[in-house]
Amino acid sequence: MVTKKSIFIIGAGPGGLATSILLAKSGANITILEKSDKIGGRTSSITENGFKFDLGPTFFLYPQALEKVFQSVGLNLMDEIEMERLDPQYRIIFKSGGHIDATNDIKVMSDQIKNFAPEDAKGFSKFMNENREKLRKMEPCLTNPFLNIFSLLSPRLLKLLPMVKPHQSLDTYLKRFFKDPRIRLAFSFQSKYLGMSPFVCPSLFSILSFIEYEYGIFHPKGGCNEITKVMAQVATDNGVEIKLNEPVEKILFNENKATGIRTKTGDYKADAIVINADFARAAQTLIPNKQRSRWKDNKIENKKFSCSTFMLYLGIKGRYDVPHHNVYIAEDYKSNLQDIECRHVLSKSPSFYVQNACVTDPSLAPKGNSTLYVLVPVSHEHENIDWAENKNNYRNLIIKELEKVGFVDLEDRIIYEKVITPADWSNQYNIHLGSTFNLSHNLKQMLYLRPRNRFEDCEGVYLVGGGTHPGSGLPVIFESAGITSKLIAEDIILN
């Protein structure tokens, strides 16, 4: 009798759930061990006093990536989750004056750009055309593993170089289309999704804003957390076992081969182990340092990590008349970025993002009330900032900033409130340095230089999620699940 292979996945975040669905029909036993009492990881919800907030992601982009996961078990994503494409997709407000309602309507968008800088109006369609081609050529990089340096030398990738311009920053690249720095910011603030500044982020990430305009930004009814909820249901319907409240304490080895997992319940034997938990934290706590040849503790400590986020989840009396997604750009944007990435201090007048989701989805709050989700990009944990000391003051400063930009009487209208600081991301959510977007996405930490989907340090260990290739953000995390599950099928299941 052939015994079934056992695959264990550590963490029920979007990456772990997608991998479990993609492997569900492979004939192996698939088990997810999740430390928390709910699924979803950073893509879960906060539900209290009748208010419901997404904990993390609120922008759902490029559903095509998740569609492939659902198709693998014969389902159609759009039949399983109700989604609305937002138009305008968001409002970008320059605290120095003026705003743009971002839309993929070329004429409406070009006219708005014209109001800021007449000579830039034609840049929008040029940008879209060039990036359409760039994404088409880049797609194989997002769907294939980078397992060694030779993967960089494939003819397909080498042909890409003139278009991708690996050493150019996103801001410099955008100068070809837009002279006005505010317009460039409108097409580059998306680098914050990777936890990076547009002045440092590699130019290939111009595809992020392109994807928004080309394929849209969607609001899943109930929030992005509904995506992981439905994925968990699909996984269990297809035979995956999900065990909540079961933190993995260590991975067990026989020499360099992973053979099992230890939790408080006991030991599990495994043919393959997939780490979906935050890479830097999991590697350092679950795999002994001596077992790791490349990713030793001191190497991880010397890597560059993304920014963190200071979060306010506010239940509000009534509703503000502002769009669903609002990005407020600081007057001194560059200085704000330096505070986050170089000086590691808190800005007095930072950029921030506000989601007013009830204008699209009143189900998120009790009748007559609404939710505000406020995300302020801040430094990851650093000795310069003591969050126990700064939490309340910074909360008060942000509420005042919100009142200044039009959320009148906000303080008096708050009826529910939760704050999450970088220290909370680190301590409660097991995220190294509270770097919510994982390792930075600079050239030294991408492709085969990122921790690999088939983890290079130990046999039988695989990675999925924002910490591995291709990187952070839901669509690429779903692509990482595609890559990782294919490797497991080749190495373990078909072997």
Ligand X SMILES: Cc1cc2nc3c(=O)[nH]c(=O)nc-3n(C[C@H](O)[C@H](O)[C@H](O)COP(=O)(O)OP(=O)(O)OC[C@H]3O[C@@H](n4cnc5c(N)ncnc54)[C@H](O)[C@@H]3O)c2cc1C
For the bound state, the minimum distance from the C-beta of residue 35 to ligand X, rounded and expressed in Å, comes to 4
Integer Cα distance of 430 and 35 in angstroms: 10
- Closest approach, Cβ 318 to ligand X, in A, equals 25
Q: 274-283 burial, b for 16+ CB within 10 Å, e for fewer? A: bbbbbbbbbb
Residue 84: φ, ψ to 5°: -120, 130
Cβ nearer to ligand X, comparing 90 with 178:
90
Q: Which of 8, 51, 53, 59 binds ligand X (CB under 6 A)?
A: 59
Binding mask 460-489 for ligand X (x = CB under 6 A): -----xx-----xxx--x------------
How far is Cα 476 from Cα 480, in angstroms, rounded to an integer? 6
Kindly report the backbone phi and psi dihedral angles of residue 62, in degrees, each rounded to the nearest multiple of 5, phi listed first: 45, 65
CB 44 within 8 A of CB 17: no
Question: Binding to ligand X by residue 57, rule CB under 6 A?
Answer: yes
Nearer to ligand X, 114 or 391 (CB): 391
Query: 33 or 183: whose CB is closer to ligand X?
Result: 33
Q: Give the strand pairing for 99-102 and 90-94.
A: antiparallel
Binding mask 402-441 for ligand X (x = CB under 6 A): ----------------------------x-----xx----
Q: How far is the CB of 18 from ligand X (least distance, A)?
A: 8
- In the complex, minimum distance from the CB of residue 165 to ligand X, in angstroms, rounded to a whole number: 24
Question: Can you read off the two tokens belonging to residue 98?
Answer: 């003026």
Listed ranges 28-36, 83-91, 316-324, 408-416: which one lies at the site for ligand X (CB under 6 A): 28-36
Considering beta carbons, is residue 183 or 357 the nearer one to ligand X? 357
282 versus 488: smaller Cβ distance to ligand X: 282
| Choices 11-19, 298-306, 330-338, 340-348; region in contact with ligand X by CB under 6 A | 11-19
Q: Looking at residues 283 to 342 of the shown chain, list those that interact with ligand X (rule: CB under 6 A).
A: 309
Q: Which of 206, 172, 166 is nearest to 189 (CA)?
A: 206
Give the shortest CB-176-to-ligand X separation in angstroms. Answer: 27
- CB of residue 21 to ligand X, shortest distance in Å: 13
Phi/psi for 60 (5° steps) reads: -105, 110
Which value, in Å, is the radius of gyration of the alpha carbons in the chain?
22
One of 248, 272, 372, 433 touching ligand X (CB under 6 A): 248
Nearer to ligand X among residue 112 and residue 306 (C-beta): 306
Nearer CB in complex with ligand X: 413/469: 469
Q: How many residues bind ligand X (CB under 6 A)?
A: 34
Binding site for ligand X (CB under 6 A): 10-15, 33-36, 41-43, 56-59, 247-248, 276-278, 282, 309, 375, 430, 436-437, 465-466, 472-474, 477
